[in-house]
Amino acid sequence: MSWNLGDILDAVAATVPKDRQAIVQGDRVITWGEMDERTNRLARAMLAAGLQPGDRVAFLSRNHPGYLEGFVACFKARLVHVNINYRYRPDEIAYIFKDCDVRGVLFQSEFAPIVAQMQSNFPNICLAMCTDSSEVPGAADFESLARTGDSSPLEITRSDDDGLMLYTGGTTGMPKGVMWPAWAYRQCQLESPLIKNPPTTIAAHVANIRANAAPGRVIPACPLMHGAGMSSSLGELLNGGTVILLPSQSFDALELWQVAARRQATRILIVGDVFARPMLQALDRMENLDSLKNLKVISSAGLIWSNENKQDMLRKLSWLSLVDLFGASEASGLGYSITTATESVPTGRFIAGPKTVLITQDEKILGPGEPGEGMIARSDPLPNGYFGDPKKTAEVFRTIGGVRYSVPGDWARRDEDGFMQLIGRGSLVINTGGEKVFVEEVEEALKQVPGIEDALVVGVPDERWGSIVVALVRPSHGAELELAAINKLLSVSLAGYKQPKSLFQLASLPRSDAGKADYKTARALAADLVEKQAA
């Protein structure tokens, strides 16, 4: 089955009306005709600069039309998009640049100092493009590249193995690049329960688009550099629809509703209760809820969305379908739940995807209909693995009984009725506000702080963030430790969301005689201390 994403985007651009909106942010509107021509020029410019098919292009940008146009141009030029978390510090960004041998960079001007540092340290970078300024030394002007040159479709032969790289921390310690070939990525997208007539060829896909009189208009409320924001935006473009980006750089729930009403959004993507709670509060300030009648679906990915908040949302917007999408960078489409005014699903319960199974501790496969407990996994279509890391690839992408599975590390229990209930992570990853934090990384940073002899880091459940990072430390004799001062020191090497929100000093930490951390005891201890602190 041929599913090259560049080929699909070419076919879609040749099918939809050229004046249909493709990308909107504030008062700026880029039509499909404009986006097609601009991305063709960008693709040619990247190849002319020396980038070769398969080369990695790092994106260091907030939500901006240039991010989406650069994304599309990479597919057309057979280049590999690499998402960079713009909250990362220079050392963390350098790790990714080195890990996947970045050769191109797309960035916003606020990140120019970091990009200049990367250019000095990585001489293989042959092109840096700034999306919002023509005055950054050593960088090409993105707008000039998009506006000048040959705008016709590229006459190149693409491959189904062309794809993208999605950097994630996942269960692997330091961030790793998940290599998704185009055919697998697209096949997983077509498993969505929201797609009623999945096509099997590009011709059938184009026919569906031509027959669709009401194309979708999605607002990704989360960053594009996250897998969920990226996937929802790309999915809408592949279907000939419109991506609406919020104008503000930080999340403003009232602005989200106002933009949804003004731009007649049909779908909003959020990340769990971190977004849902302020959205509920902001609804009380909306003067006319009927202005949101075009909105059909709010979907959430990356963090639990509680049933209580869903019910509050439906009391105000009763016509909506609220969808929880459960997946991982390494395994899309693990499951979903759909809540409406007439159907309610308890928090954390979901319907398994068509390729989803449970793997028990003794590696028995529990297929559809088999109750039990195990690690959630799925079979092909899957990523190829982690870029440059066969060891981690073998740990997560396992072959059992001749079938290859992706096993990201979540545990679940399947009931007799076929529903799955999430139990928790099988690893030590903390999910806070949709961001993944690796306890070992934070622990090692804490141990470098003067006055700290030992440290354990755990996640404690939190109503707002899902989990918060909590540090248990053993101080040096006579040391005076203060959280704000410690986090100031940590900020040199750790992004803000990785820094502890609470810190407790203990005479000893829960470790075995051999020095192995007892995280179960540490989590219980930390939860108790946080509760007492809040009392």
- Residue 170: per-residue pLDDT: 43
Query: 435-444, pLDDT tens digit by residue?
Result: 878 787 888 8
- Residue 426: per-residue pLDDT: 60
SS3 105: strand
- Residue 1: per-residue pLDDT: 57
In the block, tokens 């473009």 appear at: 237
In the block, tokens 């509703």 appear at: 257
CATH topology of domain 430-534: GMP Synthetase; Chain A, domain 3 (3.30.300)
- Residue 173: per-residue pLDDT: 54
Phi, psi of 261 (to 5 degrees): -70, -45
Strand pairing partners for 326? 335
SS3 352: strand
Ranges of each domain in the chain: 5-250, 430-534
- Residue 427: per-residue pLDDT: 62
Amino acid at 390: P
- Residue 365: per-residue pLDDT: 96
Transcribe 307-333 into DSSP letters: HHHHHHHHHHSTT-EEEEEEEETTEEE
Dihedral Cα 36, 40, 45, 46, nearest 10 deg: 90
Chunked mean pLDDT (size 10), the chain, 535 residues: 89 98 98 98 98 97 97 98 92 94 98 97 97 96 98 95 84 76 92 85 94 95 92 96 96 97 97 88 94 97 84 97 93 94 89 93 88 94 95 94 93 88 73 84 87 91 92 89 94 93 94 71 94 87
Other Cβ atoms closer than 10 A to 197: 8
Can you give the three-state secondary structure of 261-280, one letter per residue? HHCCCCEEEECHHHHHHHHH
Asked if residue 162 lies in contact with residue 75, where contact means CB atoms within 8 angstroms, the answer is: yes
CA distance 234 to 114: 27
C-alpha atoms less than 13 angstroms from C-alpha of 62 in its C-beta half-sphere: 14
Alpha helices in 193-284 (DSSP H): 202-211, 227-238, 253-262, 272-283
CA distance 371 to 32: 48
- Residue 247: per-residue pLDDT: 97
- Residue 476: per-residue pLDDT: 87
- Residue 172: per-residue pLDDT: 41
CA distance 277 to 346: 17
Amino acid at 170: G
Per the document, the length of the chain is 535
Find, among 360, 341, 338, the residue nearest to 407 by Cα: 360
* Helical pair 32-48 and 65-77, crossing angle rounded to 10 deg: 60
Strand pairing partners for 60? 107
Residue 50: alpha-carbon gap to chain centroid:
29
Domain range 5-250, its CATH number among 3.40.50.1220, 3.10.110.10, 3.40.50.300, 3.40.50.12780: 3.40.50.12780
Task: Find out whether the peptide bond into 390 is cis, omega within 30 degrees of 0.
Answer: no
Query: Token pair of 357, please?
Result: 């199974």
Transcribe 128-178 into DSSP letters: EEESS-S--TT-EEHHHHHHSS--SPP-----TT-EEEEEE-TTSSS-EEE
Answer whether 5-250 and 430-534 agree in fold: no
- Residue 171: per-residue pLDDT: 39
Asked if residue 105 lies in contact with residue 57, where contact means CB atoms within 8 angstroms, the answer is: yes
In the block, tokens 């929802």 appear at: 232
In the block, tokens 């410019």 appear at: 45
Kindly give, in sequence order, each residue whose CB lies less than 8 Å from that of residue 168, ignoring residues fewer than 6 positions away.
175, 176, 178, 227, 328, 329, 330, 436
Query: Token pair of 259, please?
Result: 């933009």
Query: Token pair of 423, please?
Result: 């139990």
Amino acid at 439: V
Strand pairing partners for 105? 58, 128
Other Cβ atoms closer than 10 A to 148: 10
Find, among 39, 20, 72, the residue nearest to 215 by Cα: 20
Q: pTM here?
A: 0.86
Q: In which element (H, E) is residue 39 found?
A: helix 32-48
